[in-house]
Amino acid sequence: MIEPTNGQMIDGLIHQIVFQEQANMDDVLMHANVNVNAHQMMILTYIEENPGVIQKDIVTMLNRTPATVSAVLTKLEKAGLLERKTPADNSRNKQLFVAPEARNLITDFRVTRNELASTMVSELNETEQATLIQLLQKLV
């Protein structure tokens, strides 16, 4: 068997962390009887942080197809969590806004995500956490 390179090991570990975080958040959301998943919550959070953003911006941010993003946005809109508004100066691009009903959900999502992140790094001491941050910052 061929030993993986350091790059492959790092890539694999980063993916494991991302998948574990998403699975943990999906579990929390499922138990909260919320009909959205972690990926959809990330989109809602992005829209809340960037009110008036258009679908194309989300496509770029997520590196997904327009059809995939459109399907997610439609589902969020039908759930009453997202509003699309047509600006007066451009009828083609609908601006996206978080519906008032989604604000508490987003706040709870952020709190839970922060709690999970704290738990994830709890095995590392402060020095190790700082070192990990510095190393990861070099990669982005």
The pLDDT value given to residue 21: 86
Is the full-model pTM beyond 0.75?
yes
The pLDDT value given to residue 31: 78
CATH 2.40.50.180 for domain 35-114, yes or no, is: no
The pLDDT value given to residue 28: 80
Which amino acid is residue 2, in one-letter code? I
State pLDDT tens for residues 2-21.
898 999 999 999 999 988 88
The pLDDT value given to residue 6: 92
State pLDDT tens for residues 120-129.
899 999 999 9
Q: Are 95 and 50 in contact (CB under 8 A)?
A: no
Residues 98-110, mean pLDDT to the nearest whole number: 89
C-alpha 60/C-alpha 63 separation (Å) is 5
Alpha carbons within 13 angstroms on the beta-carbon side of residue 113 total 16
- Starting from the edge strand earliest in sequence, which strands make up the sheet with 95-98, in order? 53-54, 95-98, 82-85
Average pLDDT, the chain: 90
Q: Are 53 and 93 in contact (CB under 8 A)?
A: no
Residues 26-47, mean pLDDT to the nearest whole number: 86
